[in-house]
Structure 1
Amino acid sequence: METGSHVKPNACVEESNYSNKPHLDASQNKTFLTDQHETCIDGCTTTAIPPACPTAMGSSDCTSHCDLCKVDELQVEAVGFCINCTDFLCRNCLLNHTKIKVTRSHTILQGENLPTDPEPIIAVRKLVKCDIHPEYDIKFVCAEHSTTICAMCLTDQHRMCTFQKISELKEEYRRKEATVKANLLDVHQRIEEFKLNRDKYIGTIEAQQKQVISEAQGFAQQLIEKIVTLTTKVEDTVNGHLDKEISTTKESLRDADKLFQEIKKITVLFEAAQQYGNSEECVLASRHIDHKVKEIFRKISLLESHEDKHISLEKNVQLHKLDTICYVTLLGTKQQPGKENASDEVMEQLQINERDDSKLNITTRECGTSCDLSVLKCNKEVQTVDADAQSTSEAMLVKSPDQSNPPLIKRPYIDRTVLPNASTCKISSTNDSLNCFVTAIVTLHNGKTLIADRNNKKIKLLSKEFVVLEEYSLSGCPIDMCVADQHVYVCCLNERKLLRFMISGDGRLIQASGYATLYWPVSLSSFDDKVLVLCFKHDSVLDTIRKENVIIEIRNRSKLDASFTKQDENGHHKYIDYAKRIMTIDSYSILLAENERVSCYSIDQAEDDVSVRKWYYTNHGQNILQNARGVALDKEGNVYICGETSNNVHQVSSKNYRKGKVIITNINKPFSVCVDSANDRLIVGCCNDNYIHVFNFQRLC
C-alpha cells in the first residue's frame, strides 16, 4: 500500500462541502475545519476533498454506509474507511475516530482510495491477528518452531526460543516483493494457459470421438461386407454340393429306369417261355433269365451302395463370445507443468503440495493429462475372439508407464501358473452341525460368491472377501447350481425338482417357486438363458463310480425345450454312462465329466441323441485324473477339472485339447471349482473342508 494513501497520526482530516459545516477550535482538538481548507495544529493545510462519488465506492447504484451508525439503525453515507478497524465511517464518526486516543493513529482511506470491496483488507487484517490470542497482533517469528506469534505467545510458550520481530523483516520483504509479484503474474498466466489448453483439449477429444466412431462404423461396414461375401461363398458351396448330389441321384434314377425296363423284358420272356415254349426252351430261357437277374441284382446293389449325404452347418463363429469388434482405449501422455519460471520459494511450495496430493486418491491429479482416443480393431476375418487373439489384445493394453522399458504382456490363461501360496477362507458358521462339503461355486455379477454346502444342506452367500453374509437352508443336500436368466438354480441329492432363487437389487437371494422334474437332476449349467440339466433316470448314489442311465435336458424354467440321450448304435458314447457333471462350452457343445476323462460333445436341439464327440481329455503321463467332478470355464475357453481321488485340478484348452496340464497339485479331495476371471483367481472347494481355497494366477510375464 502506497504511503500517499495513508492518513498518518496527527494528519489533516479532509473536509467536504457540507451546507452546515461543523467548526472546532484548537482548544477542543488538534484538528479544526474551515470552509475550504483543513488546518492542523502544526500549521499544515490541505484542500478539502469532496465526498467520494458512487463510482469511487463501487457500482453506480451501490453506496457504502457507516458501519458504526448501522448499530443505531441509521443509513449514513460513508466517507472514509479505517484499515485497522475495517469499518466504513461517516463524517461524524470519522471526526470522532481521529479524536479518540486509541484510534487516532489508525490509517484512514478517503476519496478515490475508498475501497469498493473491503474483503481483501479484512483478510489482510485476519493475517495479522494471532490464532491463539485473537485480541493481539502478530509481532514476532519463532525461528525454532517456524511459526508466527504474538507478544502473549512469546511470554507464555516461546520464552526460551529464538525469535525475530516482524518489523525487522521489512527489508527482506522489499527485496522479495518484486519476485512475489512476478510469481503471481506467472501463476496467473499459467492458469490462463491451462484454461486455453483445456478448451483446446475438449475440441480435440470431441474431434477424436467423431473420428473413432466413424472408424468403428467403417470397420463394422467392412465386417458386414465380409460377412455378406462369406455368406455368398457358403451359399455357393451348398449349391455346389446340392447340384452334385442331385446330378448323381438323377443319373442313378436313369440307371434304375433302364434296369426296370430290362427286368420287364425278362419278365415277358419268362412268361412267354412258360406259356408257349417246350421243355428245352423253358430250360434255356430259365438259364438266360437267371443270369440276367443276377446281373441286374449286381447293378442295383451298386446303385444302392451309394451313401446318402446330408448337408450340415458347423458354426465357426460363436456369437455369444463375440463381445466386441474393437477396443477403445484412452492413451494418456502426461504433460510436465511449466514450473521453470517460478522462484525457488514457489518451487519448494509446489513440490510440498505435490507430495501432499500424492497421498490423496483424487481424480484432479490427472487434470493435466492429455489423452488420445484410439481404436484397436479385432475380428478382421469375422472370427470368434479366441484365447490367443484376446490375450494379445489385452497385452497391447497393459503397458509400462516408461515407454523405454519393454511392455508387460498379459499371458493367456493356458500359459499361466497359479501362485503357490493359496488363501484359505473359512466358510463354516456357528450353526453348522457338520464340516462343510462344497459341491458347487458360482460368482455373481456383483462380485459376491455363492457356494453349495452339501453336508449342512445350505447355500451360502459370501462377500467379495469370502466372508459368510447369509445362509439359506434347503430340504435336501445341494449338489450343483448355476446362474441363468438372473436366477440361481439348485438341484439336491435324491430330489426330483429344481429350486430357484431370484437375485435382488442388493445382491440378496429370494427363494422363488421351483418346479418338479421327471428324473433325478445331478448337475446344472447355464445354456444361454436356459438351464442344461444332467439327470439320472433312476435314483442312485452320486458318489459311486459306476454306470448310470443318464439323460440330458434343456429347460426354459418349467418348460422342457429339448431332451438328449446317448446313441446306442454300435456302442457309441459309452462313456456318457459315467457322467456326473455337465457344463456348457457354447451353444452347440457340452462338456461331461466321465470319471477318468472329460469329453466334449456336439448337441443339436433338433436331434434327440447326443451327437459326435469332438474331443476328450484323459490320463496321460504323470497327469493323472481320477474321479472327475467339478468343472469350470474361463473367459478364454479353458476348462478346469477337479480330480477328487487324484487330488489335483487340471487345466485343458477347449480349442486345443492336447494342450493340458495339472495346474494345482496336492489338494485334498477337490470337488468344485470356479474361475473368477475379473480378479484373475481360481476358487476351489473340497470334501469335508471348512474352507475354500483361492489361488491367484500369475498375471504377467
Structure 2
Amino acid sequence: MATLKLEAEDGPCCPICLEQFNVPRQLPCAHSFCEKCLQSHITAEADKRENLKYVKCPVCRNSASPANKERPVREWATLFPVSSVLQSILPAKTKVDRLCDACNNEGVSASAEVFCVVCKESMCGDCLKAHRKLKMLKDHTVISVEELACNAEHVMKLAEGFTCSEHHGEDIKYYCKDHKLPCCGTCFFRGHKNCSNVIDLKEELPALLCENKPAETIADMKKIESHLKKFMEMNEFSINNLDKQVNGLTAEIRKIRKEINEVLDKLEESVKTEGNRIYKEEVIRIQDENHQCLSLIHAVRNSHYLFEAVDKYGSNLQKFLMGEKMKSQLHSYYNLVGEKYEKTETIRFGLQLAPSIKSMLSVSFSELGKVATTAISNTVPLGCLQRAAKDCRVERVDVIDLKIPTGNIPWYTGVTFLPGDRVMLADYNNKQCILLSSSYQFIASHTLTVYPWNICLLDDQEVAVSLYNKNKIQILSVIGDIIRPVRTITTKYNCNGIAAAGKGKMVVNGYCGDYKSQWSLINTRGEEQCTHQYDSTDYNYLNYIALNNAKTRVYVNVCANNSLLCFDMYGRKLFTYSPDNLRGTTGIALDTYDNIYILGKDSNNLHQLSSDGSVQQVVNKEVSSCSWAICIHQSKDILIITNTSDERTKLLIYELK
C-alpha cells in the first residue's frame, strides 16, 4: 500500500493540499493556504456551525475573521490578504495574477495592473484612473504588479510596517510591554492607554531587536520539523511491523494444522481475513496521521520561509513583529507535537486459542480462537520533545487593586487567562466567578450556588470551575461579556485542583480519605480515564495541580508536607521538591519552557524550578500568606498571582524575562 512521502524542499507548500501555493491567502496568525483550499475549509466550517462569524486556522486553530463578515461565506477566502512575501518567493510558474483589492471588496474579480505603495492596495486600470482623479491621492507612488512580484526583498522594502490584524489598514506603531502586544493607534487608545509601559516602536526598535534571536527561532522550527519526520518514520515502521505480524499469525497456525486439519483451515482463513482487515484499518489511520504531520511540516516550513524572508530582507520593524508572531506559533507547534507523541500507539497481534488444544476437533471453528489486538504506547524520552531550557527572570511590573462589587471580602483561590488577554477569577468567599478585561478592569460576574476553588480554560469559549467539597465541576461558557452555566460534572471524590489536559480532558486532584489524596484524568463528561493516589499526611483542601506543555507530566502540591510532587501519566512519581525554605505550598504554574513556579504562602516566596525539579531561583518577599493562585500567559510571558487580605484585594503582575 502506498505511503505518504515528504517531497524535496522545493519551496513553500499549502498545508492543506500539500502542493505549491496557488494564490496564497494569509490569516492573521501568519499561516497561509491556497485560496481554494482555504475556501473549502471555510465552507466545511459553515456547514457545521450556523451564523458563522469567524473561522479557525486549520493549523493552529486560532480564530480569524474576514474584513467584511457580511459578505457571503463562499467569498470569505478572497477577503483575506494575499501573502506578498510567499508570492514573491514562489517559483515563477506558480505565480498568479493579483486581483484589484477595491473591486474584490465589492465582489467583482478584476486583474490588478498596479500597486499603490502608500495605500498598499492593488488596483485595476479603472480604479487607477479614479485614484488619480482625487487630489489627495494623485501623488501616490504606484508600481506595476510585475515589479511588485519580482522578489521578496522588493516586497519587504515596499511594506515598511505590518498593519493591525484587528483594525484593517492601520499600521503597527506601538508596543505594550505590559501585555507584550504590538498595537496600532486604535488598539492603543481602546485598550492600552492606561498601561504603564507602552513604547513607540520607531524609538525603541533597536533595543527590542536585540532581544529577538532569529537563529534560535529558525532552529526551533527545524527541530519541530525533525520531530514530525521522526513521528512519520515511527508510523512507517509500524506499518511494516504490522505486515510481518499478520504473516506471522498464518505461520503459527500452519504449525498446529497437522492435528486439526479442516477446522484450522477455516480458522486460518478467518484469522487472515480479520488480521488483514485490522491491518488495512490501521494503515489508513496511520497514513491519516502522517498526512496531518505532513500538513503541519509544510505549515512549519512555510513559517520558516516567511521568517527567513522577513529576517533577510525586511525592515527592523518587520523583523520584530514577525519574530513575535513566530514565537506564538512555536508554542502551538510544540503542543501539537507533544500530543502526537503522547498518543502514539502500536497494534500487536496475538492468537487466542481455546483452553484445551486436544478437544479442538470437537469445537466449531468460531470457538477455536480469534485475532486479538493490543495497543501499546510507544515510549518516547520526554527530553526529545522539550524546547531548550531557558532561565526566566521574574520581575514585578504592576500591582492591580481590584475594585469589584461584592458582599464579603473576596478570596481569589483560582485564576486563569482567557482569549483576548482577559482574566477570570474564582472568588471563594462570594461564590462567584469574576471576568476582567485585558487591562484588569471588572467586566462581569457569575454567581454560583456553592463555593468555587480553582478554575482553568478548556477551549476558546469554556472554562471549568471546581466546586469545593461538592464532588462537582461546573462548566461555564464565556462569550463576549456573557458568562453562562453549560453543564455540571459529578466526580467520585472531592476535587479542588483542576487543569486542562487538552482535547476535552482535565486533570483534577483532591483529598480522598485515609491520609490519601489522588489525581485523575477525566473527560468533560466526568468519565475517569486513570486515577492515582499519593500520600498527603492529613486532610488537605489546599489542592492545586498543573501539567507540562506536552501533557506528559503532572505536578501536585501537598500543603501539609510543604512539597511539590511530579508524576508521569502512569502515576509513577518522578521527583519530590520539598526544601526547608518552602512552606505552605499553594498555586502551581508552568511557562512555555516548562519551568515550574510554585507559591510558598507561609515562606513568603516564589520558587522557580526547571522541568527536572532542580531549583533555578527563589524570589523572596514577593508573596505573602494571602497569596493563593497563580497563572501564566502562555504566549506573552506574563505571570499573575492573586493576593487577598482584610484591607485590599489585588493582582501581582510579573514579567518573565
Q: TM-score range by the shorter chain?
A: 0.3 to 0.5
Higher RCO (CA < 8 A, seq sep 6+)? 2
Q: Compute the TM-score of the two structures, normalised by the length of structure 1.
A: 0.42
**Which one has a bigger Cα radius of gyration?**
1
Q: Compute the TM-score of the two structures, normalised by the length of structure 2.
A: 0.44
